[in-house]
Amino acid sequence: MKASKLLLAILGSMFFLSSIAYAQEKGKLVLDLSVSVHDTILKPGTYVVEWSVKDSSAEVRFVQGNKTIATVHGTVISCHSANKNNGYETMAQSGGGYLLTAYSPENMKYMISLDNEGAAK
């Protein structure tokens, strides 16, 4: 009897810890210009951004309607205070256009630096 209670307590603890280590979040991104994410162009408009975090790694999906437009890996970077709004950072590309380099979700104390070298699988 004691062994089954101990096993149940261990399994419950493992489930709780795994839910903390792998969090799924959702936010909004409003683009006023076209940007590249990996090899995909996101046109101006509103997107739902969904991300899953494990440790400091993130997998980020940009969704419009029911369609995933792009998926990319990222790195979670801590901030000193919570972001007041959803935001993003871009970098001008040498051939023209802009590359989406980071997403800052509203009310979170972190930003996600996007890895544009390779798409998430």
C-beta of residue 31 within 8 angstroms of C-beta of residue 47 = yes
Provide the whole-model pTM. Answer: 0.76
C-beta of residue 73 within 8 angstroms of C-beta of residue 115 = yes
How far is CA 56 from each of CA 25, 30, 50, 73, 86, rounded to the nearest angstrom?
14, 25, 16, 11, 20
What is the maximum span of the chain, computed from C-alpha positions, in angstroms?
A: 69
Task: Render pLDDT for 79-114 as a digit per residue (tens, 0 to 9).
Answer: 999 999 999 999 999 888 999 999 999 999 999 999
Which band of pLDDT confidence, cut at 50, 70 and 90, is reported for residue 11? Answer: very low
Task: Render pLDDT for 25-47 as a digit per residue (tens, 0 to 9).
Answer: 999 999 999 999 988 999 999 99
